[in-house]
Structure 1
């Protein structure tokens, strides 16, 4: 039998403990994703440095006491990323790596035991070890960088993604740690091409309590990063901008600084995307000059086509007629009715509509549906 309670025995609700307000909560999962080149690991390293030092992150409130952070680096190794972590701590005024910054990478020799042949280096198999580490060392936050490199299964397979997150990371959440997963965004939104979404299965978003998107933008001629909420089970924060600066000593990275720039406002649309949208709208208008057409005859498909058609409908230039036909607004009133009833009750349909119905029937029949055309 399940361990249950009712209205008389229900325990009091524990308040949510935010490590970073509206971003990271104890016992919950957060997804941080962005395009290649947006420096996800750099931003994660700065966030970790702020939490370890008990300092605010950007303009968001954080817990004032220093936290203990376990950084699971599956993308790189200590040889590759040591300078970055040290530079992130220098950026907030700390020289060297604090004892409460705890690092693990299966790609680093010092993190493996010579006599350990268990091969537990994937997320699916590391759950018990991560949970034990969280409990033993009193870890407050587990950072997983990145999910695609951590799991053995296919990141596009919903069942395999859900299994990896539940087996690998939910034990850490149950043990009382917040979990931050660093991940990649789809390429379709690059360069202002739309709102970014996490790459692969949407089970990632389903697992996370909060999902945050990072995007590259330009503000007064300088590169900045937009932080925006992709999904939240609580009141989300307003989009904001940060600027990252790097200070090198020769070929070595010495300092990473991250500054809050301000509220982000509306997401900019690239010039290329805007021009392409206008081209598609004109293509639709040109196709309708010959008369009403079914959607399949308007010469396009995909997100850009869908947005163009919706904008034309919203502006009143294009109207949706009967039987799924689209037509120009100024021609809509002059279009003959789709059918007319004779005195004997026989319905006569226009040739165009009969053809459209046949096409719909062929598509449906190919899908295994029964259709009466």
Structure 2
């Protein structure tokens, strides 16, 4: 096994950029973050491999400006495994590929068994990768050599895998499908901020009434602000269960909060004033949150038979049809059509049911042309025939 070092100064960085620019073919790329340890999702290590150049491990906090790397390889194809996870962190560094190949997504489209990097590499090349450092704190400095070897292997075989998957996609007639999926991943806009993100607090359903929800909101917000300030994962400061315990126990004084056995975590006592102030804000605010948010998404399908029987019939007729198409194409159903797209369409279909109107609705929801081509007419047929079959059955029974 080779010894690897982290590039953390301008001179070595510029040498690496020159070598990568002179390399051949696509560039394999991976990113290591410190999820679960740090608040930010910034890249703490960027790994790259290109034939004729070698493997390079870049230290983003030390390097800072990556414009020379963008200039060196920005116009060639970048090969990822699960690109959607890495692109946002790369964008923060000013790194934008012109085109991508995603080995995870390609494996899904081929219906392979197992989509993780280790499974894909083993399936394609027969090489077994160990993934023992996948959840490591990559903000650690210096990084142990075993971690660097792990990080290098994440890109070392990706080009070989890409060549094999490309041939398999071509043999399966899925090259254009893959191209549309890769492009959609590349241009996908950032996710819109979640409305009331504090409602993600684990166990929040145990809170009773708007006042307890207000306390939960203020505690969660105070923890987020402090976590961002010190760049530590919120749960490492005060776990969700501790915040919820404080909400439910409703301590009468700061001393009582401090004495709570269930209110723990590394910052539970060092930042006691912060948490007590948040509780007080929640108890006194006039800005009480609604008990539930009303989103634009349909309710869970299990309730449709009572709330919207026709939608229930449409969904129950169309879902197995889409499942059958996915099985015929040898890919997971969610890669053929996002499940939420089908639910929204069944809940509120176009007034005129045609392949064109359904295809337009699917496109507006984010479906790609190949998905529309495979599913639109079949969904129309199911939407029309499903309720009709039910109606005929009722008439026959009467």
- TM-score clears 0.5: no
Of the two structures, which has the highest relative contact order with CA contacts closer than 8 Å and spacing of 6 or more?
1
Please give the TM-score of this superposition, normalised by the length of structure 1. Answer: 0.26
Larger Rg: 1
Please give the TM-score of this superposition, normalised by the length of structure 2. Answer: 0.25
Q: Which of the two has greater helix per residue? A: 2
